[in-house]
Amino acid sequence: MEDFKELTKAEEQIMQELWEIGRGFVKDIIDRLPEPKPAYNTVSTIVRILETKGFVSHESFGKSHQYLPKISKEEYKKGITGKLLNNYFDNSPKSMLSYFLEENKLDVKELDDILSIIRQNK
């Protein structure tokens, strides 16, 4: 997990949009962001940082670039969950699950859904 690169909040917001649209220009990403919209240069800088970190690649169209994810949302989810599990729960899925069960005060329906998932994965 040491080499797992975690995204900042701003980077994650940009990646969420890229994962959703699959590929896009900076303008496409900005169009999907909530108000108040960040400046074009801000988003462009974040996308270039993501490219440097290995999360994004681009295709050139003249002077403009269309960006696309190099890492899937699922891959990132596995990495971030693994880091959480390792750093906060001593690599124990049981500890992590009990923490979420206790902290989130799940209702009977949610607990039933979790039990159903567990049964399916036996």
Q: What is the DSSP letter of 38?
A: P
pLDDT band, very low/low/confident/very high, at 2 (cuts 50, 70, 90)? low
pTM, rounded to two decimals: 0.81
Options 3.40.630.30, 1.10.3720.10, 1.10.10.10, 3.30.1330.10; which CATH number does 1-88 get? 1.10.10.10
Question: For 49-108, how does the pLDDT look when each residue is reduced to its tens digit (9 = 90+)?
Answer: 999 999 999 999 999 999 999 999 999 999 999 999 999 999 998 898 888 888 877 788
Q: Residue 77 has what pLDDT?
A: 94
CA separation for the pair 40, 116 (Å, rounded): 46
| Residues linked to residue 60 through DSSP beta bridges, in sequence order | 65
Domain borders along the chain are 1-88, 92-122
